[in-house]
Structure 1
Amino acid sequence: MTAPLSVEEEFGGGAELLFDGIKKHQVTLPGREKPGDIRYLLVWIKKNLLKEQPELFLLGDSMQPGILVLMNAADWELLGELDYQLQDQDSGLFISPLLGG
């Protein structure tokens, strides 16, 4: 069983409107059988933080095209996108130019 992970998630460019207007969230992901990846994080965000219109943020189990995702200030495409293994104290930034950014 993995240890819980403490991560900070920030939403901007209008994406924060889907999260009750709250830009920054400090969250603790519970420990689990296998290491957590961004796919797991997105499911957790949808279940626990996203307040409305998930179709504007997620497309299936991934991000809507056009939403910029940075993990620790690096483009998630350089890190393996959904397969990036989360680390304790990671920082994610989701910027949506589609929602007014």
Structure 2
Amino acid sequence: MVSLELRFSGGMELLFGGTKAVTVDVPLKAGAATMRDLLPWMRDHLLKERPELFMDGDSVRPGILVLINDADWELEGDLEYALKASDEIVFISTLHGG
């Protein structure tokens, strides 16, 4: 199990039942599990509606900024980032209707 702090903003919280922050114990092995493992777990266990607005293939949709411990996940290895206990992962939608 790995314990993570997940945060949602910019409209992402609406897809996750209005939750802005949640601490989760994910049944993945810390250090061995990656973001590639976390995203489908989130889709299957936390997402409340419209999975097509969260994921595209095995990654997040374009327009969703992901921060891992306050750093852009692209700097951390994207989907290959190895999860560690107490990581804070933030999902921010940059897409807005007009």
Task: Say yes or no: TM over 0.5.
Answer: yes
Contact 1:15 1:96 in 2 (8 A): yes
Task: In structure 2, give the amino acid aligned to 1:8.
Answer: E
Percent identity, aligned pairs only, is 52
Distance 2:35 2:67 in 1: 11
> Which stretches in structure 2 are left out of the alignment for 5+ residues?
none
Q: Map of 1:18-97 to 2, 5 A cutoff?
A: 18-32=15-29, 35-97=32-94
> Which stretches in structure 1 are left out of the alignment for 5+ residues?
none
Distance 1:90 1:20 in 2: 22
TM-score, structure 1 normalization: 0.90
Encode CA deviations 1:23-61: one digit per residue, 9 max, x unaligned.
1111001144x8110011101100110010011111011
Distance 1:45 1:54 in 2: 10
2:13 to 16, 19, 23: 16
Runs of 4+ in 1 over 3 A off after TM superposition: none
Equivalent residue pairs, number:
96
TM-score, structure 2 normalization: 0.92
Structure 1 vs Structure 2 CA RMSD: 1.4
